Structure 1
Amino acid sequence: MIVAFSDLDDTLFQTRRKLPLGMDGLTPATLGRDGQPHSFCTPAQSALLAHFASSGVTLIPVTGRDQAAMARVTLPFTSWRILDHGLTLLRPDGGVDLDWRTYVLTQLEPLQDALADCTAAVTGLAAEHGCRLTRHTAHGTHFMTVFKHPDADATQLEQMQLALEKHVERTYDSGLHVIANANNVSVLPRGLGKSEAVRHLRETQFPHATLTLALGDSLSDLGFMNACDLAITPPGGQLLRTVTAAKLPQR
Structure 2
Amino acid sequence: MIRPIFFSDLDDTIFQTARKMTTAPDPAHLASEALNGSHSYMSPSQAAMMDWLLGSTRFIPVTARSTEALERCRVPFTDHQICTNGAVILLPDGTPDSHWLDQTRQQAEAAAGVLNDLLSYVQSRTPPDRYRCWIVEEFGTGFYFCVKSNGVAEELDGIETPLAAIAGDRLLRHRNDNNLSFTPVGISKRHAVQYLSARLLTDSATPVFGMGDSLSDLPFMATCDMLVIPRHSQIDRKILGSGAL
Q: Is the pair's TM-score, using the shorter chain for normalization, greater than 0.5?
A: yes
Unaligned runs of 5+ in 1: none
Distance 2:177 2:145 in 1: 16
| Contact map agreement 1:160 1:185 (CA 8 A) in 2 | no
Q: Which residue pairs with 1:155 in the alignment? A: 154
Distance 2:118 2:54 in 1: 43
**Which residues of 2 match residues 71-90 of structure 1 at below 5 A?**
71-90=71-90
Distance 1:114 1:223 in 2: 24
| Contact map agreement 2:107 2:184 (CA 8 A) in 1 | no
Displacement of 1:25: 8.7
| Contact map agreement 1:87 1:192 (CA 8 A) in 2 | yes
Q: Which residue pairs with 2:207 in the alignment? A: 211
Amino acid at match of 1:57: T
Displacement of 1:129: 8.4
CA spacing shift, 1:245–1:126, aligned 2, 3 Å: farther
SS of the residue aligned with 1:182?
coil
Q: Which residue pairs with 2:47 in the alignment? A: 46
Distance 2:172 2:89 in 1: 22
Describe the superposition over 1:144-200 as per-residue Cα deviations: whole angstroms up to 9, x where unpaired: 12111112x1321122222222333xx32xx21111111221111122111111101
Deviates more, 1:79-88 or 1:114-123: 114-123
Is 1:9 the counterpart of 2:5? The answer is no
Displacement of 1:80: 0.2
| Contact map agreement 1:28 1:37 (CA 8 A) in 2 | no
Displacement of 1:32: 3.1
Amino acid at match of 2:194: R
Q: Which residue pairs with 1:18 in the alignment? A: 20
Percent identity, aligned pairs only? 31
Number of aligned positions between the proteins: 242
Q: Which residue pairs with 1:29 in the alignment? A: 31
Displacement of 1:7: 0.5
SS of the residue aligned with 1:101?
helix
Describe the superposition over 1:127-154 as per-residue Cα deviations: whole angstroms up to 9, x where unpaired: 3781122121122112212111112x13
Amino acid at match of 1:44: S
| Contact map agreement 2:209 2:225 (CA 8 A) in 1 | yes
TM-score for both structures, normalised by structure 2: 0.89
Distance 2:125 2:225 in 1: 41
| Contact map agreement 1:26 1:43 (CA 8 A) in 2 | no
Q: Which residue pairs with 1:59 in the alignment? A: 59
Q: Which residue pairs with 2:190 in the alignment? A: 195
Describe the superposition over 1:200-243 as per-residue Cα deviations: whole angstroms up to 9, x where unpaired: 11001234261110110011111111111111111111111111
Describe the superposition over 1:92-149 as per-residue Cα deviations: whole angstroms up to 9, x where unpaired: 0111111111111122222122323344345444437811221211221122121111
Amino acid at match of 1:161: E
| Contact map agreement 1:26 1:41 (CA 8 A) in 2 | no
SS of the residue aligned with 1:94?
coil
| Contact map agreement 1:3 1:60 (CA 8 A) in 2 | yes
Unaligned runs of 5+ in 2: none
Distance 1:23 1:176 in 2: 37
Describe the superposition over 1:14-61 as per-residue Cα deviations: whole angstroms up to 9, x where unpaired: 111111134669612112338x8921111111121122233x210000
| Contact map agreement 1:11 1:215 (CA 8 A) in 2 | yes
Amino acid at match of 1:39: S
Amino acid at match of 2:29: T
CA spacing shift, 1:228–1:125, aligned 2, 3 Å: farther
